[in-house]
Amino acid sequence: MDVSHLLDQLNDAQREAVTADEGHVLVLAGAGSGKTRVLVHRIAWLIQVHHVSPMGLLAVTFTNKAAGEMRHRVGKLLNLRPDGLWIGTFHGICHRMLRMHAAEVGLPETFQILDSDDQYRLIRRVIRDMELDEGEFPARQMQGFINHHKEEGRRPGDIECFDHAFQARQLAIYQHYQDYCERSGLIDFAELLLRTLELLRDSDARRAHYQDRFGHILIDEFQDTNTLQYALVRLLAGSKNQLFVVGDDDQSIYGWRGAKVENVVHFDRDFSPKVVRLEQNYRSTATILEAANRVIDHNAERMGKNLWTEGEKGEALKLFTAFNAEEEAEFVIARIQDWMEQGGRASETAILYRSNAQSRLFEQVLLREEIPYRVYGGLRFFERAEVKDAMAYLRLVHNPHDDPAFERVINLPARGIGERTVALIRDHARRQGQSLFEAARSLCESGGFTARAGNAVAGFLALIGELTDEYGQAGLGEAMQAAIDRAELADWYRSREPADRAEAREENLAELVRAAESFTQPFEDEQAGLSPTASFLAQAALEAGEHQGERWQDCVQLMTLHSAKGLEFPLVFMAGMEEGLFPHQKSAEEPGRLAEERRLCYVGMTRAMQQLVLSHAESRMIHGQTNFSRPSRFLSEIPAELVEELRPGRPRVAPAQSHGGAPQDAEGLSLGTTVRHPRFGLGTVVTIEGQGANARIQINFESAGSKWLVLGYASLERVG
């Protein structure tokens, strides 16, 4: 068989990884070195050359987006849909296994996944039920405590308690929370993994089954695996299956949420894999790579890697020092306008920052300049309050014992069921070991409520009952619509929120109905015996959807450095390069955390394809107070010869001109000249950088403010 199409487009190192024979493989894949390509081609290679059945392959990624892309690319390369091939996230794959063996792991058929918000609310509920001080045991912190232990594979009984009253209470909260989940058929994200691990560990039959099935296991972003995930991988691998692991220790930026870079080293030790390094970069200019390499060099304990490229040297990095954060934002947006003036697209530019709060200033300027932009982060579709409200009704129809769903909508919209009444239901439920739904019903029947509350609760129960009865014949979309209509959710938002806010919520509800209507159950879910509703609910929890709908628009991309991982842009800005902000204050003290900040810097720098612009402000408002800070230490780790410093804003001659060149170009523009621009009108030349058609000049326009323009493109007319 001709397999040249699988190898043609690969370089030597990539080919070595793709065609590796027997044994495990560890691919250390630098940024922009084509790791997804290697994974995709490896899968195709195994299927077409080694005739491995797609059924015998398991490919694991960290995000649904990555899984989707891999699935798509494998299909395209093989020119068919590889049915039976399991490609998914750790959580998605564990979920599927648990559905197939629900009874065996002690879960009801209708078990529901708790997302972090559900989990947080439930933990807060538990703490209140236990009558503990919420100041001493903040729910956020307890959520961290529980998830941390679960991710290390520890049940409450596995945690050593040194007879500390405080520690004992923390454990009690974990235990109560867990009991609550068991009772209501709920499972949080970490539990998906832990339950699966226990299933494979404790059941010889199941372990044997999956070990026999998956002869080849491929894992992406291995540096992001946590303890539980690595344990799962080891269990699934057994003694004979082949692991193909791709990762980059230099891009490990999630240590703070339990990821263990050490797993890369442990893998090397535990499995003695063939190690392949992908160091040729296909993304950035040589200058950008050199700068990034030099920064990451300051980290100790690296596995060692040096990115190189056959491509252009490219321009020097730019460094801008702003007086304050406002000026920094003005500068960045002016450079983007400049880029667009020259024919660049807004979507080719990204503004990266360390913390979300930094986006505000950029948004203000972008809004004023009427440049479309998109901010990553924030709430995603299925995390929006109105969507969760409507989904809670569907959850109750699917499983009335879903207490978090019950709590969410028992009085939403307000139907006169207050805290006292709900407390009564909770209390009854706890004493009877029932769900809130059952407790409410039995209290209704036994007349345990006041007349007023009783009517209200009966009304709510009847509503759920009606929806349940009708749902039998209806499709998912109709059921969703019915729930929204009957509950009168839209009226509720309209009655208590400003019109634009309420309208946005209504639009989201309409979108939710559309999503339900067009939902097609994944083939694998159907095989695992899930009902379409169960599939839909699970997917909403596991895959919360897009941050914002308008992807299509050509707009500037704003995001944190963390969310930029895996992406690339021709023009990248890294803003807020200041000590205290980046590296962040809270990470600066510990060497390990500082190293992670430096990796974050490396990740940011390697996003840039053509141009990288770094900026810092001498002062900025943080928490309502003006802070003064020094430039980030990472800036000083970049060799000076790779950086061009810009200091516009101050009326000062640019460096290029101080070397004797006349501060004037062929068209006779000089500082102070008045010019006319077709769009921006009249303005005064403030700064000139460079010469000839490539010269960049800053002009203070009378009405449009300060702009940076490239002389060759700007069609300026000299006035007077």
505 is an interface residue for DNA by CB under 7 A: no
Residues in the chain: 720
Helix (H, G, I), strand (E, B) or coil at 57: strand
Q: Which amino acid is at 447?
A: G
35 is catalytic: yes
Helix (H, G, I), strand (E, B) or coil at 613: strand
Q: Are 586 and 416 in contact (CB under 8 A)?
A: no
Residue whose CB is less far from DNA, 72 or 257 = 257
Place of tokens 């994974």: 39
124 is an interface residue for DNA by CB under 7 A: yes
Residue among 61, 170, 178, 251 flagged as catalytic: 251
Binding segment for DNA (CB under 7 A), chosen from 410-418, 425-433, 468-476, 504-512, is 410-418
For residue 10, the number of C-alpha atoms closer than 13 Å in the C-beta half-sphere is 23
165 Ramachandran zone, left/alpha/beta (phi>0; psi -120 to 50): alpha
- At 173, list the tokens: 């909260």
Q: Which residues contact 509 (CB under 8 A, 6 or more apart)?
A: 386, 387, 390, 484, 489, 490
69 is catalytic: no
Sign of dihedral through CA atoms 321, 323, 328, 333? Answer: negative
Within residues 142-171, the interface with DNA by CB under 7 A covers none
Residue among 16, 19, 36, 521 flagged as catalytic: 36
Alpha carbon distance 350, 605 (integer Å): 12
356 is an interface residue for DNA by CB under 7 A: yes
Q: What are the distances in angstroms from CA 61 to CA 58, 152, 622?
A: 10, 20, 36
624 is an interface residue for DNA by CB under 7 A: yes
533 is catalytic: no
Q: How far is the CB of 387 from DNA (least distance, A)?
A: 14
65 is an interface residue for DNA by CB under 7 A: yes
632 is an interface residue for DNA by CB under 7 A: no
285 is catalytic: no
Q: How far is the CB of 359 from DNA (least distance, A)?
A: 9
Within residues 266-295, the interface with DNA by CB under 7 A covers none
Residue whose CB is less far from DNA, 89 or 281 = 89
Eight-class DSSP state of 378: S
Residue whose CB is less far from DNA, 189 or 573 = 189
Within residues 177-236, the interface with DNA by CB under 7 A covers 189-190
Q: How far is the CB of 448 from DNA (least distance, A)?
A: 15
Eight-class DSSP state of 695: -
Q: Which residues contact 325 (CB under 8 A, 6 or more apart)?
A: 358, 361, 576, 617, 619, 620, 621
Select from 159, 621, 671, 704 the one that contacts DNA (CB under 7 A).
621
Number of residues that bind DNA (CB under 7 A): 48
466 is catalytic: no
343 is an interface residue for DNA by CB under 7 A: no
Binding segment for DNA (CB under 7 A), chosen from 18-26, 157-165, 425-433, 583-591, is 583-591
Sign of dihedral through CA atoms 413, 415, 420, 421? Answer: negative
Q: Are 308 and 43 in contact (CB under 8 A)?
A: no
Helix (H, G, I), strand (E, B) or coil at 670: strand
Buried b (16+ CB within 10 A) or exposed e, 356-370: bebbebbbebbeebe
64 is an interface residue for DNA by CB under 7 A: yes
Q: How far is the CB of 360 from DNA (least distance, A)?
A: 7
Select from 43, 200, 558, 559 the one that contacts DNA (CB under 7 A).
559
Which residues bind to DNA, rule: CB under 7 A? 62-65, 89, 91-92, 115-116, 124, 134, 189-190, 256-257, 354-357, 360, 376-377, 411, 414-421, 453, 496, 542-544, 559-560, 562-563, 584, 586-587, 593, 597, 621, 623-624
Which residues does the annotation mark as catalytic? 35-36, 220-221, 251, 607
